[in-house]
Chain A
Amino acid sequence: GNSVTQMEGPVTLSEEAFLTINCTYTATGYPSLFWYVQYPGEGLQLLLKATKADDKGSNKGFEATYRKETTSFHLEKGSVQVSDSAVYFCALRTGNQFYFGTGTSLTVIP
């Protein structure tokens, strides 16, 4: 079946630290991969996406590369800010079905 596994949180980092949130997936066919971000009290917003192997999605300093050989889509940012504090969800899509990970809470302290 289709599923997404992402690293457990919560994650706490100091401002300007390097961020990695691991995500691996299991899927039939050729999924598209996504990272969504949820700020407190809000719905999920698309952060970035990649639709085929070796694609790199990027937005707001965040990056993730679609690695078919390791079935991974790890989220990275070189220097986090306090405003990046949120919950991050890895997701995959096959056909018109989406599958979300459990979310990783990130807190960035000044």
Chain B
Amino acid sequence: DAGVIQSPRHEVTEMGQEVTLRCKPISGHDYLFWYRQTMMRGLELLIYFNNNVPIDDSGMPEDRFSAKMPNASFSTLKIQPSEPRDSAVYFCASSQWAGWSYEQYFGPGTRLTVT
């Protein structure tokens, strides 16, 4: 399996621009998670989906952030408008419910820099 795929790997944009991050989960996984990692705040859960339905978006920082999962093999995280404080590494992770053995698989991340 190719693992969780994220694109782009690096994104540099100017303040005020729209940014779209993409994720392809592992085939057959029914959960998808978006995280943000910064030095100051560590790893933060932004939102997660189960069977393409958003379950908990309480970690989304504000209305500028939105996430969608139109089908089982694709999800996007959009920031509009972007701000310098959004600079971080954004990770997508997927998993398949397996009872006690349930674990997450992470993608390589997208490093976002907003200038």
Bound pair: A and B?
A: yes
Chain A interfacial positions (CB closer than 8 Å to B): 32, 34, 36, 41-46, 49, 51-52, 89, 93, 96-98, 100-103
Chain B residues with CB below 8 A from A43, complex form: 4, 91, 93, 106-109
Q: How many residues of B contact A (CB 8 A)?
A: 24
A52-B100, A93-B102, A96-B97 are known contacts. Are A42 and B108 too (CB-CB below 8 A)?
A: yes
Count of A-B contacts with CB under 8 A? 50
Tell yes or no: B53 within 8 A of A by CB.
Answer: no
Q: What are 28 of the A-B contact pairs (CB < 8 Å)?
A: A32-B102, A34-B103, A42-B108, A43-B93, A43-B107, A43-B109, A44-B43, A44-B91, A44-B93, A45-B106, A46-B103, A46-B104, A46-B105, A49-B103, A51-B100, A52-B100, A89-B43, A96-B31, A96-B50, A96-B55, A96-B102, A97-B56, A98-B33, A98-B45, A100-B42, A101-B42, A102-B42, A103-B43
Other A-B pairs, 12, CB within 8 Å; known A49-B101, A96-B55 = A32-B100, A42-B108, A43-B93, A44-B91, A44-B104, A46-B105, A49-B103, A93-B103, A96-B95, A98-B45, A98-B104, A100-B43
